[in-house]
A and B are shown apart, each in its own frame.
Chain A
């Protein structure tokens, strides 16, 4: 009888511990969601307060309400566009190499290096671009910034491209080869188009990631209060950099502008991430 009583007391203790740990797991998940919601809501409320037509058409000021972010938006579009021009073909070709020709030791080494590259701090990449392109070109310039962002895009695109190409069914590839298409035509005209949805996801995610990068830009484009559309000459502004400059101001009005610019940046990044997610979801359902 007492045997049974102790067993059930022990059973209850085990049950209780199980419940407690389940609650802990719920709390942990809550702990991830709460800060995200807090940040997003705060950025949305404060950011909307700073938005006005002048905010999008004006140049930044160091006082008052901080002026506008026209040059920063143009700068971000130029730099991220240039980075995409460099990073996307590079990443896709490297991904094709890993998926199609990379089943050897060299492939494993490159794959591993790509994974490790995703963990290299962006500021170190900025130092690289500074040494390579800022010093030699005689000053801060948009191209150096775009180059550093492209380096950050490459590992993301490479790895998604590889994974997506590996998912392409062998029968599709065999069908093309059986029709007499050479291997490279099979890859370019059949395999890559089949995997395009997934590859697009990787591209969008990589753009979302680098659009918010600030650290390498400090070292390469420096930031500017004026509009500069030249690619190889002179400091340029960019959204994240402008937020950094705004946020270090002692004036409350300029800090407001930082929230306004943050909202623009966050919306951009979230839309890109959502689009990437949607493409992947649609691909999964078909």
Chain B
């Protein structure tokens, strides 16, 4: 409030001095800045308005209904919420530790030159379009998993419900693996930035006490960057939840609650992408309501994770934080 008053005062003063160009330019810049807020508000408003018929028809039961019956106009979101959670968790279980490992390598081990090359490769991984990963996942990866990974996995863990049933190719399992490859750059890049922000005094102190590099990393660096790393993992989770095309191609888009990872399923994003073009009326509206929920979930995940990541830069310098 105070700052906006001072801004206005400054504007007036400039106006009196006759720098009209400055005032116009600042207002223009402000307009574009405010438009960003307007865009996000517009997204919320539009999805809220378009999902009104669905919200009126199903109310809160939309959240826990498993119905999915386009001919009879009966819909529920539970299978898709469930599918999104399951595939994202599978992806982050794989990509989380590996991403942190890459960050550790880049910050603690790699020589400068190699550091740049590996950093570039990880960036390229982020640049490959989602649809290409999807194509690769369904045509190359799924058959490969079927022939070489699933048989031994089933021989050992086939008795658990998670790995039971027949693996056909399109499955939650294959989708989770492709997702993990796709969110790896997010987790790795942000963890790297967080680890870089850990002051060197942390490392030097630990090394001076005779610690090995692993002891230094696990006891002085990781605890210090804990909140930032958590943020990186959560951001990866958010990316996995919102990822659309690769999952749409691989997960099979079957609206049911699965128990085995080898089953087919569907996520919130994939069911929208798969059915949007053919949907009308209440079906369309309920898809948009799923979109609204997806927006809410990813928005909250991102706000939370960004706050966690920004914590690291405000931490006091020096001193072991356990």
Contacts and interface: CB of A to CB of B under 8 A. Distances in A.
B98 A212 contact: no
A29 interface: yes
B102 A28 contact: yes
Contact of B132 (A43, A107, A255): A43
Interface string A4-48: 000000000011011001101111110111011011101100000
A24 B99 CA distance: 12
Interface stretch (A55-63, A77-85, A92-100, A225-233): A92-100
B47 A131 contact: yes
Contact of A265 (B28, B132, B294, B306): B132
Contact of A21 (B122, B214, B272, B277): B214
Contacts of B102: 25, 28-29, 32
A184 B101 contact: no
A25 B104 contact: yes
Interface stretch (A65-73, A113-121, A167-175): A113-121
A240 B7 CA distance: 46
Interface in A125-140: 125, 127-128, 130-132
A15 B213 CA distance: 9
Contact of A214 (B101, B122, B123, B245): B245
B132 A113 contact: no
B39 A18 contact: no
Contacts, number: 272
A222 interface: yes
B12 interface: no
Contacts of A155: 36
A119 B98 contact: no
Contacts of A17: 212, 214
B72 interface: no
B201 interface: no
Nearest to B50: A131
Nearest to B14: A183
Interface stretch (B61-69, B75-83, B133-141): B133-141
B3 A106 contact: yes
Contacts of B36: 94, 110, 113-114, 117, 154-155, 158
B273 A22 contact: no
A28 B30 CA distance: 44
Contacts of A185: 21
Contacts of B235: 119
A14 to B, nearest CB: 5
B1 to A, nearest CB: 9
A14 B215 contact: yes
Given A27-B101, A29-B102, A113-B40, A123 B32 contact: no
Nearest to A31: B98
B130 interface: yes
B121 A215 contact: no
Chain B: interface size category: 35 or more
B298 A269 contact: no
Contacts of A90: 32, 35
Contact of B295 (A124, A131, A219): A124
A128 B42 contact: yes
Interface in B231-260: 235, 238-239, 241-245, 249
Contacts of A98: 33
Contacts of B135: 243, 247, 258-259, 262
B322 to A, nearest CB: 20
Contact of B212 (A18, A32, A209, A265): A18
B188 interface: yes
B209 interface: no
Interface string B18-48: 0101101110111111111101101100110
Contacts of B249: 244, 247-248
A273 interface: yes
B291 interface: yes
Interface string B300-317: 011101100000000000
Contact of A22 (B37, B213, B288, B301): B213
B109 interface: yes
Contacts of A115: 302, 306
A240 B269 CA distance: 17
- A-B pairs with the 9 shortest C-beta distances? A212-B129, A28-B101, A121-B242, A184-B25, A119-B302, A97-B33, A97-B29, A93-B32, A18-B212
Interface of A: 14-15, 17-18, 21-22, 24-29, 31-33, 35-36, 38-40, 42-43, 90, 93-94, 96-98, 100-102, 104-107, 109-110, 112-117, 119-125, 127-128, 130-132, 151, 154-155, 158, 182-185, 187-188, 208-209, 211-215, 218-219, 222, 240, 243-244, 247-248, 255, 258-259, 262, 265-266, 269-270, 273, 277
6 contacts: A38-B140, A39-B136, A93-B28, A113-B36, A247-B138, A248-B249
